[in-house]
Chain A
């Protein structure tokens, strides 16, 4: 059972109504407000646009990374001669981390606290609440143990492979990792571009086109992204809002 389900009673439903905010762009030299931005969470259609943009960017990078002599390939991926078997194995273990963690999360079975009857004695309800409070920590420990076992298993399986096999696996994992990051950055960029307005009725876009946002100085861009994150809700947190669905 996921943590989000067990922690279901520990939620703040009102958070889903905080979907817009005012963000003031402060000039670092004068400390004066350069611009006022009205940010709002995207709707489904715009979210779809951001996803499509992210997939295109990721696909474009994947194509370049797979080309033997592309600038991206040369810049990001080392040649087989630059790495020995130990390096390759270490990289593979590191870049497999996310997959190992996902598998461990899916496979770890920790008995979830069983809710008492609605008319149960107060002591039973207290006991249940204690079990609920302790559940995330118990689950995290079980997941950490499971990941450790998976890492050992992976290391053993890698030990029997040739350098060429290890290199192919290293390249595949590295390409996946770069593309994952590219997709995430592109998705966030497009979200912020689509979510910024000049007015509190969210009718006039703040940036005239995506390039205007994309060409911002990196620190300024990050400020916009951080501001947007404050109105966004992580999917796991969103699942905790299941009380709103019952």
Chain B
């Protein structure tokens, strides 16, 4: 992972907020890339929305609409009897 680190920064508390922002964003994008393509938020949502809007989007795409059950088709003539 190509996180932009700087050898001059010795302690986490010293890390400028710009670098920690980039790192957090990188982690967020890595996590979102774990989702299937159709469930991923758009660039606008990732970069320009509020955290609540992004949460709402993820809630919406992940809740109920994603297939969580598997249907089996059973043909009567394939059932073994006795």
- By a beta-carbon cutoff of 8 Å, the part of chain A in contact with chain B is 1-2, 4-5, 13, 16-17, 19-20, 40-45, 47, 202, 233, 238-239, 241-242, 244-246
Contact = CB atoms under 8 A, between A and B. Distances in A.
Interface residues of B, number: 21
B4 A17 contact: yes
A142 B26 CA distance: 32
Given A5-B43, A5-B47, A245 B18 contact: no
Contacts of B6: 17, 19
Q: Is the interface of A mostly helix, strand, loop or mixed?
A: helix
Given A2-B44, A2-B48, A245 B29 contact: yes
A42 B26 contact: no
A244 B13 contact: no
A231 to B, nearest CB: 8
B25 interface: yes
Contacts of A13: 4
Contacts of A2: 44, 47-48
A43 B47 contact: no
A41 B47 contact: no
